């Protein structure tokens, strides 16, 4: 046995937990997303077509087809290559559990004599009689891409392989990649990156100038853009080709900029760059796999679903007013792992001292707040409920202590007439951001800022941090004081997902190859650790149908301190609609007062078919059932409900759960 340090998901404290010696191995397998890629039929078919075409081109030149497959995963692309006529394939996989799985899968499908799986990073692979590869390859197959295309280190890997492991002339699958972008104005997306001014009854909460001019977090925001409505943004440019990468030529990982001049097609505030890419599997571009969002497809064309490749949202460093017909230059700056954008007048980028620098947060807010938190702070509907609730509980004599972590509630309580307001921040960075907010709004000194540690942010769908902090401060609270929010209720809902089920669904046979060994390994690892855990997902991006009514399963009374003993809850969720039940969604609803609450999950079920609308500024918990429940008149199964067993451990700060179908 080994001891693993694990951050308590609710209290933030570091707990030492005894685990099996294979814990890390099973964690890596369980959290891999290979099922999603294997279920991506469009991707698989396009790769197969491209590989067949590449092998054919090499054979027509009278050469042996020697394949180098970097990032082979399950070995699927290598097996495709041998089936297409390749003479030999070197399959590189640095992730040890996957390399071991690939070896077994390759042997099980009868390709052990033509595919060599090498468990190394491609930069460590050696050539020669005593090396990993006997000879250089002339076909380069890769699947090293992420939502941003290059974020997984694709360019350095290509650069090294082409220089050291390939023949002078090679074929590449994919053959090339093209990155597209469009400049838009979007209040919804911009509110995920900047704190916007907030109107109150007696004034305005203004964000610090430093926050408004901060370029923000350097990482891309990957989103299922297909789930955005076209009403959520106003296009200010046409869709533009930003840059291309030709993988049949020598690739460079050197930092480079790609300026593209364009004429704006509308008036507005340029705030956001939407971006995606496609890959041509052949030189002619006849075999194309695209990541474009669903609203760019024609009505008669089905939209391929994939979660391993989504679309990109890039926030410009500052919003910029543009007018119809204005000449502008959008520049993509690209290093070996990252892309970022600037928008200027044509030629101005040459004189800019910062345009080539990767954006880094200098205000602190983008470090303590993630994008869902920005959206939550800017949510006017949620703020309205908080104001209504605070009017019910605040008195001119009220002394308020806000357990804040960057919340706007201290400012709200002060402007609504509380006699004294204190705010407790859990980190020095959060304390600094709050001080900037107070200074900007001329409240420095009016609201004392206290720092309390070590509590930190918690899992996104069952945030009980407030309860732990309130309990820790109980000695500072007068008898009968108002606790706000007063409680939280955990809800569950049985659902049918349109597509999200694929990330946990077994593949068995994929494009004619048996990959069931991978299914067995993932299942074993999930059973080992994760069978009693829910995964956080932003469900506004993943359509689903409700197959039950929402059910209250556990309530946490914040007016009382945290209990000493475990809290248990058992019951069942009745299934009221036909469909395919993939799992159960969990979320919290916070009771501010007796009659006012805010939800972090289900907002409404839209019609008789059960389509769900989810709160977009929080993630929800998803518990996938071990097997899909087929419900309805034509089904041979007769499940009527899903039973649940939940245990909240105050010591661990987590909820252990299990859901089982009930005939």
Per DSSP, 233 falls in state -
- Asked if the model's pLDDT at residue 15 lies above 60, the reply is no
Q: Where are the alpha helices (DSSP H) in 283-339?
A: none
Q: Which CATH class is domain 379-457?
A: alpha beta
Q: What average pLDDT score do residues 219-240 get?
A: 94
Q: What average pLDDT score do residues 580-591 get?
A: 96
Could you state, in order of their start, the residue ranges of all structural domains in the chain?
A: 34-173, 177-368, 379-457, 487-500+512-662
pTM: 0.91
Q: Per mean pLDDT, which of 239-248, 296-305, 386-395, 638-647 is the most reliable?
A: 239-248
Cβ-based burial of 241 (10 A; exposed 0-12, middle 13-18, buried ≥19): exposed
- Predicted confidence (pLDDT) per residue in 419-435, tens digit: 999 998 878 888 999 99
Higher per-residue confidence, 183 vs 453 = 183
Q: Is 379-457 the same fold as 34-173? A: yes
- Asked if the model's pLDDT at residue 324 lies above 80, the reply is yes
Higher per-residue confidence, 405 vs 122 = 122
pLDDT at 633: 66
Strands 66-70 and 137-142: parallel
Sequence-distant (≥ 6) Cβ neighbours of residue 82 within 8 angstroms: 89, 111, 114, 115
Q: Which two tokens stand for residue 380?
A: 């006017």
Q: What average pLDDT score do residues 282-297 get?
A: 97
Q: 170 falls in which pLDDT band (50, 70, 90)?
A: very high
Helix (H) or strand (E) holding 158: helix 154-164
pLDDT at 521: 77
pLDDT at 31: 56
Weakest-pLDDT range from 201-205, 586-590, 605-609: 201-205
Q: Which two tokens stand for residue 515?
A: 């990959």
Identify the CA nearest to 620 among candidates 458, 505, 462: 462
φ/ψ of 628, rounded to 5, equals -75, 135
Average pLDDT score, the chain: 89
- Asked if the model's pLDDT at residue 9 lies above 50, the reply is no
Q: 636 falls in which pLDDT band (50, 70, 90)?
A: low
Strands 509-510 and 513-514: antiparallel
Higher per-residue confidence, 595 vs 630 = 595
Q: What average pLDDT score do residues 299-306 get?
A: 88
- Asked if the model's pLDDT at residue 22 lies above 60, the reply is no
Give the residue carrying structure tokens 């709160």: 615
Rounded CA-CA distance 200/213 in Å is 23
Q: 32 falls in which pLDDT band (50, 70, 90)?
A: low
pLDDT at 351: 54
Q: What percent of the chain has pLDDT over 90?
A: 68
Q: 475 falls in which pLDDT band (50, 70, 90)?
A: confident
Q: What is the CATH number of domain 34-173?
A: 3.40.50.150
- Asked if the model's pLDDT at residue 75 lies above 80, the reply is yes
Rounded CA-CA distance 9/508 in Å is 35
Q: What average pLDDT score do residues 101-105 get?
A: 94
Q: What average pLDDT score do residues 222-227 get?
A: 95
Weakest-pLDDT range from 186-195, 265-274, 446-455: 446-455
Rounded CA-CA distance 494/45 in Å is 33
- Predicted confidence (pLDDT) per residue in 504-557, tens digit: 888 888 999 999 888 887 776 666 544 567 889 999 999 999 999 999 999 999
- Asked if the model's pLDDT at residue 202 lies above 50, the reply is yes
Higher per-residue confidence, 651 vs 323 = 323
Give the residue carrying structure tokens 């470090």: 367
- Predicted confidence (pLDDT) per residue in 520-532, tens digit: 877 766 665 445 6
Beta bridge partners of 243: 179
Q: Which two tokens stand for residue 378?
A: 């800017």
pLDDT at 11: 44
- Asked if the model's pLDDT at residue 2 lies above 60, the reply is no
Q: 33 falls in which pLDDT band (50, 70, 90)?
A: low
- Asked if the model's pLDDT at residue 607 lies above 90, the reply is no
- Asked if the model's pLDDT at residue 159 lies above 80, the reply is yes
pLDDT at 599: 96
Q: 356 falls in which pLDDT band (50, 70, 90)?
A: low
Weakest-pLDDT range from 168-182, 277-291, 362-376: 362-376
Sequence-distant (≥ 6) Cβ neighbours of residue 100 within 8 angstroms: 119
**Is the CB of residue 573 less than 8 Å from the CB of residue 642?**
yes
Task: Please identify every residue annotated as catalytic.
Answer: 143, 152
Q: For domain 177-368, is the CATH number 3.30.70.2740?
A: no
Per DSSP, 354 falls in state S
CATH fold of the domain at 487-500+512-662: 2.70.160
- Asked if the model's pLDDT at residue 446 lies above 90, the reply is yes
- Asked if the model's pLDDT at residue 560 lies above 80, the reply is yes
Sequence-distant (≥ 6) Cβ neighbours of residue 49 within 8 angstroms: 281, 282, 287
């Amino acid at each position: 046995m080994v001891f693993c340090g694990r951050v308590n998901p609710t209290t933030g404290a570091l707990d030492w937990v005894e685990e099996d010696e294979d814990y890390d191995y099973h964690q890596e397998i369980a959290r891999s997303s290979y099922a999603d890629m294997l279920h991506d039929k469009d991707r698989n078919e396009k790769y197969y077509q491209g590989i067949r075409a590449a092998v054919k081109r090499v054979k027509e030149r009278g050469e042996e087809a020697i394949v180098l497959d970097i990032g082979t995963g399950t070995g699927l692309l290598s097996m495709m290559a041998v089936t297409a006529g390749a003479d030999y394939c070197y399959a590189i996989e640095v992730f040890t559990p996957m390399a071991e799985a690939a070896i077994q899968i390759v042997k099980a499908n009868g390709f052990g004599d033509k595919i060599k799986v090498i468990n190394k990073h491609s930069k460590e692979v050696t050539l020669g009689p005593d090396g990993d590869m006997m000879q250089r390859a002339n076909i380069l197959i890769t699947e090293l891409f992420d939502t941003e295309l290059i974020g997984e280190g694709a360019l350095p890997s290509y650069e090294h392989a082409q220089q050291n492991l390939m023949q002078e002339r090679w074929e590449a699958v994919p053959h090339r990649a093209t990155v597209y972008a469009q400049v838009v104005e979007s209040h919804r997306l911009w509110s995920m990156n900047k704190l916007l001014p907030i109107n109150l009854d007696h004034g305005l909460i203004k964000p610090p100038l430093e926050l408004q001019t901060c370029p923000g977090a350097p990482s891309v925001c990957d989103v299922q853009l297909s789930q955005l409505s076209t009403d959520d943004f106003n296009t200010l440019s046409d869709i533009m080709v930003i840059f291309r990468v030709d993988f049949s030529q020598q690739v460079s990982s050197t930092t480079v900029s790609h300026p593209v001049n364009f004429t704006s097609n509308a008036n507005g505030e340029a705030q956001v760059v939407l971006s995606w890419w496609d890959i041509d599997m052949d030189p002619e571009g006849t075999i194309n796999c695209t990541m474009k969002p669903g609203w760019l497809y024609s009505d008669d064309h089905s939209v391929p679903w994939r979660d391993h490749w989504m679309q990109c949202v890039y926030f410009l460093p500052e919003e910029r007013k543009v007018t119809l017909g204005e000449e502008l230059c959008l520049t993509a700056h690209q290093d070996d792992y990252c892309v970022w954008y600037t928008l200027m007048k044509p030629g101005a980028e040459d004189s800019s001292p910062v345009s080539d620098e990767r954006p880094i947060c200098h205000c602190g807010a983008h470090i303590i707040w993630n994008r869902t938190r920005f959206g939550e702070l800017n949510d006017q509907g949620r703020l309205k409920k908080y104001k209504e609730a605070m009017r019910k509980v605040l008195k001119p004599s009220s002394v308020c202590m806000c357990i804040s972590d960057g919340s706007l509630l201290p400012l709200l309580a002060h402007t609504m007439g509380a006699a004294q307001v204190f705010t407790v921040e859990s980190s020095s960075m959060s304390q600094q951001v709050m001080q900037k907010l107070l200074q900007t709004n001329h409240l420095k000194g009016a609201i004392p800022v206290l720092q309390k540690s070590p509590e930190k942010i918690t899992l996104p769908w069952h945030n009980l941090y407030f309860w732990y902090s309130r309990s820790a401060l109980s000695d500072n609270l007068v008898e009968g004081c108002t606790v706000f929010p007063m409680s939280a209720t955990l809800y569950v809902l049985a659902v049918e997902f349109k597509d999200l089920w694929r990330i946990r669904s077994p593949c068995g046979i994929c494009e004619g190859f048996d990959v069931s060994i991978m299914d067995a390994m993932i299942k074993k690892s999930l059973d080992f650790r994760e069978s009693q855990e829910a995964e956080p997902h932003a469900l506004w991006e993943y359509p689903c149908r409700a197959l039950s009514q929402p059910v209250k399963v556990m309530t946490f009374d914040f007016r009382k301190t945290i209990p000493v003993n475990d809290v248990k809850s058992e019951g069942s969720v009745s299934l009221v609609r036909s469909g395919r039940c993939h799992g159960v969604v969990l979320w919290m609803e916070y009771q501010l007062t007796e009659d006012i609450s805010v939800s972090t999950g289900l907002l409404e079920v839209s019609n008789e078919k059960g389509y769900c609308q989810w709160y977009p500024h929080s993630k929800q918990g998803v518990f996938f059932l071990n097997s899909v429940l087929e419900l309805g008149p034509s089904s041979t199964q007769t499940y009527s409900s899903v039973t649940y067993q939940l245990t909240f451990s105050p010591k661990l700060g987590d909820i252990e759960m299990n859901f089982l179908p009930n005939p």
